Amino acid sequence: MNIQGENDITVQMKKKRKNRRLRIFLALSLLVVFFSATYIGYLDYQVIKKFEGQRWKLPSKIYSAPFVLSQGIDIEKSGLISRLKRLNYNPVKRPVRKPGEYYLTATGLEIHLRDFAYPDRLQQGIPVSLSFSSGKQIDRIVDLSLAEDLERLPIEPEVIGGFYEGTWEERSLIRLSEAPPILIDAIMAMEDRRFYEHGGIDPRGILRAAWANLRAGGIVQGGSTLTQQLVKNFYLDSDRTLNRKVNEAIMSLLLERHYTKEEILETYLNEIYLGQNGIMGIYGIGQGSWFYFGKPPNEMTMGESALLAGIIRSPNTLSPQKNLKKAILRRNLVLERLFSEQKITLRQYVQARAETVSGRKVRERLNAAPYFVDEIRQRLAAAYPGDLLNSGGLRIFTSLDVELQRIAEEKLRDGLQMLERQYPHLKRAEPERQLQGALVAIDPRSGEIRALVGGRSYGTSQFNRVVQARRQPGSLFKPFVYLAAFDQAANGKEPYTPISQIEDAPITLQAGGRDWSPQNYDRTYLGPVTLRAALERSLNAATVRLSQEVGIEKIITTARALGVTSPLKDLPSLALGTSEVSPLEIAVAYATLANQGFKREPLFVQGVIDPANLRLDSPDSDEIPPTEVISPQAAFLVTHLMRGVIESGTGQGVRKLGFDRPAAGKTGTTSDERDAWFAGYTPELVTVVWVGFDQNDPVELTGAQAALPIWTGFMKEALAATPPTDFTPPAGIVFKRVNENGNVCRDGKEEAFIEGTEPTQSCEGGVFKWFEHLFF
C-alpha cells in the first residue's frame, strides 16, 4: 500500500470519528432538550394544577358560643370587657363610629358590633348602647342605628381551636379590589418596583440588588420579584439550594405566561406570611390587617398600609408586637420611598408619619378548651371526611362559654392543689399518678355544654374523664331511686311523698348468690325516717329498702329515661351507685331533673358552615324538641328534696362556702372512698364534679370534702353576673306546711306534694282545723 492510500484511510477514519462525536453530541442535545422539555412540562403542570385548584388548605375554626347580653347581667362579673379585647375590639374615648370599637363610661357602654355570619343568620354590625342602673348591671340595651330597645344582644363568638394539617395557616381571603391602592403601591415600592414590566424574573433588579449588596458588604437588598416570592412560598420549600432557585425561576416565567398580573398579585396578597400568634401563623393581607389593626384591609390608614407592607421582609423581627421601634422605622422608610416615587404628597407623608403605632398584644385563647375540642373532633369525624375537617375551611360553632370554661379550669386546678395541701396523702410525685378531677357544666334548658374540663392537665394526659371515664357514682345515683318512687305516685300508683316513712335499719339481701348487707356511712341507723330525711342524710339502708319496694327494674328504666346509657346491673347495690357511669351521663340525667323531666340531648355543636357561609348538616341539633321522659311533678319533688341536701343535709358545705342562690345538689362517695362527687344545679346551670385517681387509689375523702368545694367555687363565679332565679313548680304541685308527724300545721315546714297526695290530717282541732282547711 502506498503512502497516499494510507493518508486517505487516515482521513476517512478521522471523518468517521468526527461524525460519531457529532451524532453523540446531537443525541445528547436531543436528550437534554427532551428531558428539559419534559421537566418544564412537569413544572408547568404543577403551576396550573395548584393555581387553578384549591390554592390553600384552610384550617377549620372552632368557635365558642356567642355571649348573649340581657337586662340584669353585670358586665364586670361577666368579663364582658375581657371578651371584647380578646375579640380585637378597640377602646375609644368618644362615641363609637366604626365596627370593632367600644366606649366605656361610668353609666354605660357603647359597642359597634361587626358583621358576623352564624349558621342560621347574618348578624349586621350595628352600634348599640348599654346603660347601667346599679353598679355595672345592664338595665337597657338600645340599637343606636334604629333607636330601638333590644331584649337580647349576642356578642360574636371567639375562636377556641382549630383542625389543620401540619401548621395552622390562618387566612382571610380577599379580592384585589379590597386591598387599598396605597398598600399595593407600598408593596411594589419595597418588594418589586418593576412588577408590571418584567415577565417573572427581573435581570435589572438582580443586577441592582447585587450592586447594592456589593457596596454594602452584605445582603441589604433582594433581587426576587413578587412572582418569584409567590412561587417560593406557594409551590416550593424553603431550602436554599441551586435546584430550588432554578425551579423558582422557571416556574415564575411559566406563571406569568399563564396568568395576568392581577391574578398573580391577588394570590400574592393572600399568600404572604405576616407573623405569628401562638400556634397560629398569620398569612395574607386580609388576616394581617385584622391581626395588627383590628380592621379589614379597606379600612387601613396610609400609615397602617405602609407598616404592613414594611414587615413583609421579616415579620417576626419588624412586627410592632415584637419591636415597636423597628416597626416604626420600617414604616417611615416605606413612606419615604412612596414620597420619593411621587405616590403620596408631602402632606400625606407628614400625616402618615404622625400616626400612632400600637404594639398591643392580641389575646386569643387558642385551644382554650382542649378536652372539649377533642370531643368536637370525635363527634364530627363520623359526619365529615378528614380532609374536609382539616383543610376545608369549615366554621364550627359550639356551645362552649369561654368565660365559664376559664373559671372551670381554674377552680378544678386550684381545688385539686388545695386538697393536696390539706391532705398530704393525696400528693403523688409522678405527673401521671397525680390526683385527678373532671368538671362538666350543662344548661338544662337547652342541653348546651357550657364548660368541660376532662382532667387536671391536658399536656400530661389527654384522657377525657368527663366522657371516657367510667366510675361508680355512689350516692349520686340515689335521687333516681326516689324519682322512680315519686313517678309512681304521679301515675296514680303507690302514693310516695316526701313525708312517706321508710325504715332505716340494717338489711340483708341476696346479691349474686351471696348475702349483701349495706351499711350507712357512719354505721348508725335512725329507724323510721321520711323520704326527705333519707335523701338529705344520704342513708344507705333506707334507700336500699325503698329500692326494693319500688323495684330495681323500675329504677333502671328511670335512669335510662334520664340519660344514663352505660350498662346497669340488676342488683340491689345499684341503688347505691355501684354501676359505673361517666360524669357526662350524670350531668345529662341531672339536667333532665332540673328541666322538670324534659330531656335534652347534650349539645356540643350548634352548627357548621363552609367558607361560602352555607350551612352543613351537624351531628348535634338544637332544633330537636325536648322529650318528656319523667313526670314534671316527680322531677320537681326530687329537686325539692335535693334543695334540702344543700340546706340541711350532706351538702350544707355549699352554704357555708357562700353560695346563696336557690340550688339543688347531691354528694357522692363510693363505699371504698375511691370516688368523690358533687352534682348540683340551679334552674340555668347543672354542674358535675368528680375527684379521684386514675389508678383507683382510695381518696379517703367524701364528696362533701373533695368535690363540693370545687363545685361551689365554680358555681359562685360562673353565675355571679346574672340575677338569681328560683325553681318554678309545675302545674299539679301543691305546698303544705307539715309537722314531723306529717300533719298540716300553721307552724310546720313547707313541703311539696303531687296534687292528690298531700296530707289532710290537721294537727289542730275545732275551729283551728276549719281555718287550716280553708287557708292551708
Burial class (CB in 10 A: 0-12, 13-18, 19+), 277: middle
**Which residue among 101, 191, 271, 758 is the active-site one?**
191
**Known catalytic residue: 461?**
no
Residues β-bridged to residue 104: 109
| Strand pairing class (395-398; 168-171) | unpaired
3-state secondary structure of 764: coil
Distance of CA 65 to the CA centre of its chain: 8
Burial annotation 540-556 (CB, 10 A radius, 16+ → b, else e): bbbbbbbbeebebebbb
Q: Tell me the one-letter amino acid at 329.
A: L
Residue 88 exposure: Cα atoms within 13 Å on the Cβ side: 19
Q: Tell me the one-letter amino acid at 642.
A: M
Burial class (CB in 10 A: 0-12, 13-18, 19+), 382: exposed
3-state secondary structure of 376: helix
Q: In what order do the strands lie in the sheet with 280-283?
A: 168-171, 280-283, 273-277
CA distance 154 to 439: 26
**Which residue among 305, 399, 475, 500 is the active-site one?**
475
**Known catalytic residue: 475?**
yes
| Strand pairing class (280-283; 168-171) | parallel
CA distance 530 to 482: 11
Residue 229 exposure: Cα atoms within 13 Å on the Cβ side: 22
Largest distance between two CA atoms of the chain: 164
DSSP classification of residue 527: E
Q: Name the phi and psi angles at 103, rounded to 5.
A: -135, 110
Residues that are catalytic: 191, 475
